[in-house]
Chains A and B, each alone.
Chain A
Amino acid sequence: MDIETDLVVIGGGMAGLVAGSVAAEAGLDVVLLRKGHGATAQSSGAIDIIGYVPGAATYFMNPVEGLHALSAMCPFHPYSALGRSKEGLPTDPDRVVSRVRGSVQWLKDKLSGSCGALKGDLEENIQAISLLGTSKPTCLVQETMWNDIPPSHDSVILFAGLRGLPDFNPSSAVKAFMANRPYGEEGPRKAVSCVLDVAPSGRPFNLSQIEIARSVDHDAGLSALANSLEGQVLKTGADYVAVPPILGVEHARENRRQLEEKTGAAVFELTAFPPSVPGLRLQTGLETVFKKTDGRLLAGHEATGVRKDGDLIQAITARAPRRTMEIRSTAVVLASGKFLGGGLVGDERGVRESLMGLPVVDGDLIPVSDSRPQRLTNVIPLSPEGHPLFGVGLAFDSSFHPVGADGSPVAQNLLAAGSVLAGYNYAVEKSGLGVALATGFAAGTNAAAYVKGVQ
Chain B
Amino acid sequence: MSDDEAYKAVSATLDQERIIPFKTDELEVVRSAEKCVNCGLCLNHCPVVRAVGVDRFSGPRSIAVELSRSPPDFWSTADKVYLCTSCGTCREVCPYNVDVPDIVSMVRARIFKQRPDLVPSSLLAVRETIARYSLAFEPWEDPNEKIESRDARLQAVALPFIQDRVVRGAEVLFYPGCQAEERAQEVKEAAKFILSYFGVDFTLLEEMSCCGLPSRLIGDDETSRSLAARLREKVSSLGVKKIVTTCAGCTSNLSDMSVRDNWGVPVYHLIEFLAEEVGLERLSEAFNEDSRAGEVLITIHDPCHLIRHTSRQIADHVIAILNLIPNVTTVASGVADSCCGGGGMVGYHSRDVADAVVAHNIEAISATKAKQLVAPCPLCTAQIERNLFNAGSAIQVDDLAVFIAQRLPQQR
Contact = CB atoms under 8 A, between A and B. Distances in A.
Contact of A36 (B55, B92, B255): B92
A297 B49 CA distance: 25
Contacts of A275: 39-44
Interface string A28-46: 0000000111100110000
A400 B112 CA distance: 55
B44 A320 contact: no
Interface stretch (B201-209, B305-313, B339-347, B399-407): B305-313
B54 A208 contact: yes
Interface stretch (B94-102, B159-167, B385-393): B94-102
A200 B356 CA distance: 14
B52 interface: yes
Contacts of B50: 210-211, 214
Interface string A72-104: 000000000000000000000000000000000
A431 to B, nearest CB: 21
Among A200, A205, A210, residue most surrounded by chain B Cβ atoms (within 10 Å): A210
Interface in A1-52: 1, 3, 35-38, 41-42
Contacts of A42: 39, 41, 95
Contact of A38 (B95, B255, B309): B95
Nearest to A218: B363
* Interface residue range, chain B: 35 or more
Contacts of A41: 41, 44, 93
Interface string A274-299: 11010010000000000000001111
Contacts of A320: 310-313
A401 interface: no
Contact of B309 (A214, A274, A322): A322
A302 B96 CA distance: 11
B285 interface: no
Among B53, B55, B94, B96, residue most surrounded by chain A Cβ atoms (within 10 Å): B53
Contacts of A301: 311-312
Among A277, A320, A342, residue most surrounded by chain B Cβ atoms (within 10 Å): A320
B311 A322 contact: yes
Given A36-B92, A200-B53, A207-B54, A322 B310 contact: yes
A322 B253 CA distance: 9
Interface string B27-68: 000000000000111111000011011110000000000000
B256 interface: yes
A244 B220 CA distance: 44
B311 A201 contact: no
A235 interface: no
Contacts of A341: 95
Contacts of A214: 50
B312 A201 contact: no
A321 interface: yes
A439 B214 CA distance: 48
Given A210-B43, A274-B41, 19 more contacts: A1-B275, A1-B317, A35-B97, A36-B94, A41-B93, A208-B49, A208-B54, A274-B39, A274-B40, A275-B41, A280-B44, A298-B311, A298-B313, A299-B92, A300-B311, A320-B313, A321-B252, A322-B252, A323-B310
**7 closest pairs, A vs B, by CB?**
A320-B311, A323-B311, A322-B255, A206-B55, A275-B41, A300-B92, A322-B310
